[in-house]
Structure 1
Amino acid sequence: MALTAQSSSSGGGDLLACWERAQQRLRAELGEDIYLSWFARIELDEVEADGLARLSVPTRFLKSWIQSHYADRILRAFVAETDQVQRIELAIRTAGMRTPITARPAAAAGQAVQNAADTEGVPSAPLFGSVSAASADLHGGSLAGSPVDRRLGFESFLVGRANALAHAAAKEVAQARPGEAIRYNPLYVHAAVGLGKTHLLHAIAGAAEAGGRRVLYLTAERFMFGFVSALRAQTALAFKETLRAIDMLVIDDVQFLQGKTVSAEFGHTLNALIDGSRQIVIAADRPPAELESLDDRLRSRLAGGLSVEMGSLDEELRLQILKLRVAAAREQVPGFDVPPSVLTYVARSITANGRDLDGAVNRLLAHNTLTGAAVTLEMAEEALRDLVRNREPRRVKIEDIQRIVARHYNVSRADILSARRTATVVRPRQIAMYLAKVLTLRSLPEIGRRFGGRDHTTVLHAVRKIDGLINTDNALADDVDLLKRMLSE
């Protein structure tokens, strides 16, 4: 018998909280990069009475890798948080299985929020396991692509300041007609987790297929899995022919692409498609220059098209998302109502990404339907206290400051560390030193050493210079505020 919120005195919510704490343990032990690469998409489906915790992941590749490398570590982290778990089992999640333990206390209510997540600008996790109609025709489906979710279209994508450019570029690429000159190739979209890039890729693929183009949608994991399987089965030639017989290749999460042979084949495929005037659309969690697993030539090829960043959701956009979530939930649970003051509180307090907003609405809905308590500001503060508390400012590193300032002012980090004295380099260098002083606990001599071995008096001059200019130069003040926000996210 599954141990859910309905069948256990401790409650599914308590088990979910234990699982979330276990995830935080893994994040702390392994570091942010490894956690996001392999653990961010694991979901807790249920815990059975005999202590078996059933977890799910979206792809076979991810399941195989986690079972081989991290299963024991996951179990230890979970056992450390609850004695109700004694062993774990990992399964591949399909479209019909997306009912995590949080949705079970009120099936209709949870489904309402899930439906909202699937029809708005910040996506739920991508779906895997079947082939879209267009890609299925390619050599009889010799390379099975991930399905294109028709619900994730342009009409359901909420547009704000942070994603307007990416949205406009995506629509132009998607609506281009066969035979037209390709303007942006490849189109490279990068953003942090939960900001809508996967939704945008589904929208592009869906619109292009509707326009008659042959589209193959893949994740980097599926590309790797398909290529390695083709090598083992000695069908690599058919694999390559499938990829190069399409009109548009859409690849998500390219930061997961690993291995010299796989990266080389990926580069050959990109070159063949671009040279053949075929459209390529790619998404990742970082810009091309920061894809350390790829060689310089491939990073340069990716940066040679149009690279667009989707920034953090602003408060207005977060408020729109919340209103849509609540409206969708209300269709299934007519008595559910969230006052404007609570919506404003949630939009201001939860700033990381759209998935956290989903979680906030889920919690308000669960408290309302399970306890009968009206949704008030006091109830929201209690229900969401750990979500809000966990949003502590991140520790800023000097290397991050140098990288982000360099990218903002279109110079290289090497320029900032160099002895160059041109105006295009001096001002970004001074701003980076200023931010290092105000955002870190490093001393002036330490900051000077980290900026190419400069004297502490040079750093002090830069700090005073920028501090004075901020009071008189509004454009500079806006730039510094923007950089502070980017570094704190």
Structure 2
Amino acid sequence: MTVLTDVKTRWDRVAQRLRAELGEDLYTSWFARMELEDFEQGRLIVSVPTRFLKSWIETHYVSKLHKISEAELGRFDSIHVRVRMRGGVPQRAVADEQAPHAPQPAAAAQPQPSVIAQAQAVSAAERGPQLDPHQTFETFVVGSSNQLAHAAMCRVADAAPGAAVTFNPLFIHAGSGLGKTHLLSAVAHRLKEKRPDRRVMFLTAERFMINFVMALRQRDTLAFKDQFAAVDVLLIDDFQFLQGKTMQQEFCNAFNGLVDSRRQVIVAADVPPAQLDSIDQRMRSRLMGGLVVDIEMPDLETRRRILQSRYETMQKRDQTVVIPDEVLEFIANRVTGTGRELEGALNRITAYQQFNNAAVTLDLASLVLRDMQASPDGSRIKIDDILKIVGRHFNVGRTDLLSPRRARSVVVPRQIGMYLAKKMTARSLPEIGRRFGGRDHSTVLHAVRKIEDQIKTDDKLAREVALLIRLVEQG
């Protein structure tokens, strides 16, 4: 099957975007072996070497892959992920790569030595993870949106030898880019510096699953279990990606063993434990039994401090970078998202200045950041999704949101839902009104204007609405 050269070139850019957005570890784990097969008639066909990779990508990453691919290839209808064939027969890896809950029988062929060697190398590397040297408590910008999470993490990291474990487990939840991983890394750095005798393990949920699958292949699950028995502090990131009954049972065993023996467990996820729909109820209950802390979207003052911190870091690397205070203030007001988005905006302006040899002005900043507040793809977001997320966030049932009830506990979430529907979808006011219990379009317009006015003066509401937007965008 022939693929045009320019399509291959654009596919290379898709791979680069995936690497940049997901990070090196996730990209290497799930996308490094993906290949472009064909792109025609509104369908993108890609291939991977194993059924496990195919299933994982289709379950967790197909929407992101579609979105990033469209940015380089143009709009298309669908993505088809297939398992690559060799000589008309599925590769041996396809047969070998079984789901964790269905290990191969004893009579099955052993994995090839090269596979075992690779598994051992990856596993060994993850038992001693390389932390980002810049993600420390000293570089974490504290504001009203993350103050409690920061204080809790410092309390754990600075606990005196022999002191009782007060927050166990400690569960941090926030949207992407709000500092969860930074705080986990900061705890690991602090413990390494002040308590080198404590054994710390820092894993993502995906790496936990990869290591477990490899242990199954090598028929060495006992060694996999033993590594947790020797841990004093377990740090787990991206917990929402933990999937599969067997995987969850294995983690639950390790978790219970550590907590019951009063060793520290810190978990980070995109949503609170109650919203981890794919996680067993008993596990959710145990997670809620510790301290659960959220990180909200940064307010204006925190965004200013984040930008100032990032700018000072840039100047240390390159003193020719000069950004006026009014431009930093413009960015803080224009980009109302996460610290990662603020840093991205700063990088874009700096790069534009250097590539074009132009002074950084407000006009330049406005030009470079003109798309930073672009509306999300309304065609992908449904009003039903908004109703579900708003109801879950405010603990209000769907029937109440659609009912005539006028209690404030229902009216405010309903108005916020209408506001989000207007801002994030292409639906008309009458259509939104119909979907919100058959209301008139004037009711929707009133709700939209009221929320717009309130978020200008109510920082807490503004943060709450920004969080809901992020949750809706993440699906």
Normalised-by-shorter TM-score class:
0.5 to 0.7
2:29 corresponds in structure 1 to 61
What is the distance in 2 between the residues matched to 1:443 and 1:364? 38
Q: Is the 8 A contact 1:147 1:217 kept in 2?
A: no
1:154 match: secondary structure: coil
What is the distance in 1 between the residues matched to 2:161 and 2:266? 16
> What's the % identity of the aligned pairs?
34
Residues 1:281 and 1:57: Cα distance change in structure 2 (over 3 Å): closer
Q: Please, which of 300, 307, 327 is the counterpart of residue 342 of structure 1?
A: 327
Instruction: For 1:274, give the aligned amino acid.
Output: V
Q: Please, which of 396, 407, 414 is the counterpart of residue 433 of structure 1?
A: 414
Please list the CA deviations of residues 298-335 of structure 1 after superposition, one character each: whole Å capped at 9, or x if unmatched: 12222221111111122222222222222222233323
1:26 corresponds in structure 2 to none
2:167 corresponds in structure 1 to 184
Q: Is the 8 A contact 1:218 1:252 kept in 2?
A: yes
Please list the CA deviations of residues 146-172 of structure 1 after superposition, one character each: whole Å capped at 9, or x if unmatched: 223343221111100110010011111
Q: Please, which of 281, 285, 310 is the counterpart of residue 296 of structure 1?
A: 281
Instruction: For 1:227, give the aligned amino acid.
Output: F
* CA deviation after TM superposition for structure 1 residue 347, in Å: 1.1
Residues 1:344 and 1:20: Cα distance change in structure 2 (over 3 Å): farther
1:151 match: secondary structure: coil
Runs of 4+ in structure 1 deviating by more than 6 angstroms, as ranges, are: 15-18, 20-23, 70-76, 391-394, 459-468, 476-479
What is the distance in 2 between the residues matched to 1:320 and 1:213? 33
Q: Is the 8 A contact 2:396 2:410 kept in 1?
A: no
Q: Is the 8 A contact 2:307 2:328 kept in 1?
A: yes
Residues 1:208 and 1:404: Cα distance change in structure 2 (over 3 Å): farther
What is the distance in 1 between the residues matched to 2:373 and 2:401? 37
What is the distance in 2 between the residues matched to 1:64 and 1:20? 12
Q: Does 1:203 align with 2:156?
A: no
Residues 1:346 and 1:444: Cα distance change in structure 2 (over 3 Å): closer
1:323 corresponds in structure 2 to 308
1:41 match: secondary structure: helix
Instruction: For 1:62, give the aligned amino acid.
Output: W
1:207 match: secondary structure: helix
Residues 1:293 and 1:66: Cα distance change in structure 2 (over 3 Å): farther
What is the distance in 2 between the residues matched to 1:219 and 1:446? 39
What is the distance in 1 between the residues matched to 2:323 and 2:10? 24
What is the distance in 1 between the residues matched to 2:330 and 2:10? 24
Aligned runs of 1:225-264 on 2, under 5 Å?
A: 225-264=210-249
What is the distance in 1 between the residues matched to 2:342 and 2:228? 37
Q: Is the 8 A contact 1:159 1:317 kept in 2?
A: yes
What is the distance in 1 between the residues matched to 2:372 and 2:271? 25
What is the distance in 2 between the residues matched to 1:311 and 1:390? 21
Q: Is the 8 A contact 1:430 1:466 kept in 2?
A: no
1:80 corresponds in structure 2 to 73
Please list the CA deviations of residues 237-285 of structure 1 after superposition, one character each: whole Å capped at 9, or x if unmatched: 1111111221110011111212221111011111111111111001111
Q: Does 1:484 align with 2:465?
A: yes
Q: Please, which of 334, 356, 367 is the counterpart of residue 382 of structure 1?
A: 367
Please list the CA deviations of residues 417-443 of structure 1 after superposition, one character each: whole Å capped at 9, or x if unmatched: 799x9x9xx542232233334443455
2:436 match: secondary structure: helix
Please list the CA deviations of residues 49-80 of structure 1 after superposition, one character each: whole Å capped at 9, or x if unmatched: xxxxxxx6546432368562469977965762
Q: Is the 8 A contact 1:146 1:219 kept in 2?
A: no
2:272 corresponds in structure 1 to 287
Unpaired runs of 5+ in structure 1? 1-14, 24-37, 44-55, 83-135, 449-454
Residues 1:149 and 1:483: Cα distance change in structure 2 (over 3 Å): closer
1:265 corresponds in structure 2 to 250
What is the distance in 1 between the residues matched to 2:125 and 2:223? 7
Residues 1:311 and 1:40: Cα distance change in structure 2 (over 3 Å): farther
2:107 corresponds in structure 1 to none
Residues 1:375 and 1:464: Cα distance change in structure 2 (over 3 Å): closer
Q: Is the 8 A contact 1:162 1:310 kept in 2?
A: yes
Unpaired runs of 5+ in structure 2? 1-8, 36-47, 49-53, 76-120, 422-428, 471-475
2:206 match: secondary structure: helix
* CA deviation after TM superposition for structure 1 residue 202, in Å: 0.6
1:41 corresponds in structure 2 to 21
Residues 1:64 and 1:293: Cα distance change in structure 2 (over 3 Å): farther
CA RMSD of superposed structures (Å): 4.4
Q: Is the 8 A contact 1:368 1:375 kept in 2?
A: yes
2:213 match: secondary structure: helix
Q: Is the 8 A contact 1:416 1:428 kept in 2?
A: no
Aligned runs of 1:142-161 on 2, under 5 Å?
A: 144-161=127-144
* CA deviation after TM superposition for structure 1 residue 215, in Å: 0.7
What is the distance in 2 between the residues matched to 1:373 and 1:291? 48
Q: Is the 8 A contact 1:142 1:239 kept in 2?
A: no
What is the distance in 2 between the residues matched to 1:162 and 1:328? 22
What is the distance in 2 between the residues matched to 1:186 and 1:283? 11
1:446 corresponds in structure 2 to 435
Normalization by structure 1: what TM-score? 0.65
1:156 match: secondary structure: coil
Q: Is the 8 A contact 2:11 2:73 kept in 1?
A: no
1:368 corresponds in structure 2 to 353
What is the distance in 2 between the residues matched to 1:231 and 1:286? 30
Please list the CA deviations of residues 191-234 of structure 1 after superposition, one character each: whole Å capped at 9, or x if unmatched: 11111110100111222233232111111111111111111111
Instruction: For 2:436, give the aligned amino acid.
Output: I
What is the distance in 1 between the residues matched to 2:178 and 2:447? 36
* CA deviation after TM superposition for structure 1 residue 344, in Å: 0.8
Please list the CA deviations of residues 60-111 of structure 1 after superposition, one character each: whole Å capped at 9, or x if unmatched: 43236856246997796576269xxxxxxxxxxxxxxxxxxxxxxxxxxxxx
